[in-house]
Structure 1
Amino acid sequence: MGLSWQQGPLSTGAIGHFLTPESLPERLLYAERLRRRMRVKFNDTFIADSENVILLHEPGRYPVAYFPSEDIDAQALVPSGKVTHHKDLGDTAWYAVHAGDRTTERAAWEFTALPEHAVDLQGRIAFAWRAMDAFYEEDERILGHAADPYHRIDIRNTSRRLEVRLDDHVIARSEHPVVLFESGFAPRWYVPRADIDETRLDPVEGQTFCPYKGLCDYYDIGEARRAAWSYRNAYQEADRINNLVSFEADKVEVYLDGERLHPEPGQNVISHGVDRGLDVDEVKPH
């Protein structure tokens, strides 16, 4: 999550509310200087390199990085003549991106008729994330979307008793689960595999990708489809849940200290999917 995605405060599915005497606009956009060097690679060439990136948080979207035109290789942008209209920011001119022997249509855009209150984006270009080869902060590739400074993960050990059941069968029972708190989401409870009857877990094909935790594998439990998941090679920042298993409270019975858990706001996550051209071997060392 962040300011505007999933259940963030500026998203359309926000789980909290602003304590103001008057109603806020239905849509709030937020722009902020990223304060990190960011680069864009296309066809093995860095076509943008800037320490002056503006990050735009827009309801229902991941944050998008906007580069000043002077920090972009002028030969990389080819006007397409295509203009669309953004409901908040006005006319949007589109570019093909070109480098070497490769060109991708509608791979970048610029707002050309910004309202006065949005001039921070004047003269700035954004690149379609999946149309580019890679985005970097300094020399490290950033996966999934631009890093959101308002996204946080906290992982805590606990001695609370967690039990998972399905059709009177005990799937898991643990007195030392791990709880993961992630910005805007309901707590997620992870169980060591030693406390799970793994004969009940049937691995399924297909993975999702979290830019903060890594690739996620899923399991069926009986007739309950994709009722459990695990980050078998979690990123170092989330290493404490590496290879642990979490369970969907709306698909199996999950009890915490004897009280059954039920889905709550923030429980359902809109998965990102895997980046264009991103494979498992590339994600693991990240």
Structure 2
Amino acid sequence: MGLSWQQGPLAPGTVGQFLVPDPLPERMLYAEPLRRRMQARLGDNWVADSEDVVLLHEPGRYPVAYFPLGDIAADALERTEHTTEHQDLGPTSWFTVHAGPQTEQRAAWQHIDLPGHAKILDERVAFAWRAMDAYFEEDERIVGHAADAYHRIDIRSTSRHLVVRDGERVIADSRGPLVLYESGFAPRWYIPREDVDRSALTPSERQTFCPYKGMAGYYDIGSARHAAWSYEDAWDEVRRISGMVSFEPDEIQVDLDGVRQSLDPGQSVVSHGADRNLDPDEAAPGRPA
């Protein structure tokens, strides 16, 4: 997903390679202007509002937005005595964030002695995503983590034959699945409900949140837990997969054109959850302000 995690080009488990004669450093950080207006809110108060945000891509992590100090509300930041050491960017100072009656401890940080090659982050502060109540690009709420401009999802129709089995029982049989290609992930196959034996699906309590697709619910199949999932109300950008079912090939047998599928190495999802206080309505398509 994007540049720096899962199997992206700057991720530890990348599947590609740079065609250069000499080995690259094990860790490469990348920062660039976001070029979008971004705001952060705590309670009913805006603590940051900027058109000059820099997005940092760090291997194995979600993108992080850095706001210029001049675009942060006056008296919002209280520097604490707590410091940490970033392995690439040096000493890091932490802040308590105040907004009206609300206070969040260690909710923002600043790298205070940056190496020369990282000066793009100088005089900038990042907020701990879950410590704030909401983030926005223009008037639309951004949930989960800062939007990665290099993340992409493509959905394609296909006539390939996909069969799902639990032992001898056929769970799904389709010649009309959709295949979803998502940056950093192997393809995922989504099957129309009419091609699925719904009596084989037992809803589980598990739910996960994707900042690009919405809220997913899971199903157990026999003894295989969380073997299938569905975005019942996928966001507009991926509306085509709404209500369709995808199956996890390491939990249940999935055959594509007669070839047994397996989970690609490095494809486990890094759990991050949604923003704090995010309710189902806010996780629905449209993401209201």
Does the alignment reach a TM-score above 0.5?
A: yes
In structure 2, what is the equivalent of residue 127 of structure 1? Answer: 127
Alpha-carbon separation, structure 2, partners of 1:108 and 1:272: 18
For residues 86-136 of structure 1, give each alpha carbon's deviation from its aligned partner in whole angstroms, at most 9, with x where no partner exists: 110011010000011111110000000000010000000000000001000
Correspondence 1:37 to 2:37: yes
Correspondence 1:274 to 2:289: no
In structure 1, what is the equivalent of residue 117 of structure 2? Answer: 117
TM-score of the superposed pair, with normalisation by structure 2: 0.97
In structure 2, what is the equivalent of residue 66 of structure 1? Answer: 66
Gaps of 5+ in 1: none
Q: Do the aligned partners of 1:186 and 1:264 also contact (CA within 8 Å) in 2?
A: yes
In structure 1, what is the equivalent of residue 283 of structure 2? Answer: 283
Q: Do the aligned partners of 2:134 and 2:275 also contact (CA within 8 Å) in 1?
A: no
For residues 240-259 of structure 1, give each alpha carbon's deviation from its aligned partner in whole angstroms, at most 9, with x where no partner exists: 00010000111111111111
Alpha-carbon separation, structure 2, partners of 1:96 and 1:267: 36
- The 5 Å alignment of 1:34-183 reads 34-183=34-183
For residues 61-85 of structure 1, give each alpha carbon's deviation from its aligned partner in whole angstroms, at most 9, with x where no partner exists: 1000000000111210011121111
Please report how far the alpha carbon of residue 202 of structure 1 lies from its aligned counterpart in structure 2 after TM superposition.
0.4
Alpha-carbon separation, structure 1, partners of 2:20 and 2:63: 25
- The 5 Å alignment of 1:260-271 reads 260-265=260-265, 267-271=267-271
Q: Do the aligned partners of 1:186 and 1:265 also contact (CA within 8 Å) in 2?
A: no
**1:66 alignment partner AA:** Y
Gaps of 5+ in 2: none
Alpha-carbon separation, structure 1, partners of 2:127 and 2:170: 49
For residues 252-283 of structure 1, give each alpha carbon's deviation from its aligned partner in whole angstroms, at most 9, with x where no partner exists: 11111111112223543223323211121221
For residues 190-248 of structure 1, give each alpha carbon's deviation from its aligned partner in whole angstroms, at most 9, with x where no partner exists: 00010000100000002110000000100000001100000011000000000100001
Alpha-carbon separation, structure 2, partners of 1:85 and 1:175: 54
Alpha-carbon separation, structure 2, partners of 1:157 and 1:246: 14
Answer with 146-155 or 75-84: which moved more: 75-84
In structure 1, what is the equivalent of residue 190 of structure 2? Answer: 190
For the aligned residue pairs, the C-alpha RMSD in angstroms reads 1.0
Q: Do the aligned partners of 2:207 and 2:217 also contact (CA within 8 Å) in 1?
A: yes
Correspondence 1:245 to 2:245: yes
Alpha-carbon separation, structure 1, partners of 2:8 and 2:276: 25
Alpha-carbon separation, structure 2, partners of 1:267 and 1:48: 35
- Between the two proteins, the alignment pairs up a number of residues equal to 286
In structure 2, what is the equivalent of residue 23 of structure 1? Answer: 23
**1:55 alignment partner AA:** L
In structure 2, what is the equivalent of residue 8 of structure 1? Answer: 8
For residues 37-66 of structure 1, give each alpha carbon's deviation from its aligned partner in whole angstroms, at most 9, with x where no partner exists: 000111211111100000000011100000
Q: Do the aligned partners of 1:77 and 1:97 also contact (CA within 8 Å) in 2?
A: yes
Q: Secondary structure at the match of 1:46?
A: strand
Q: Do the aligned partners of 2:190 and 2:246 also contact (CA within 8 Å) in 1?
A: yes
Answer with 6-15 or 177-186: which moved more: 6-15
Alpha-carbon separation, structure 1, partners of 2:235 and 2:27: 33
Q: Secondary structure at the match of 2:205?
A: coil
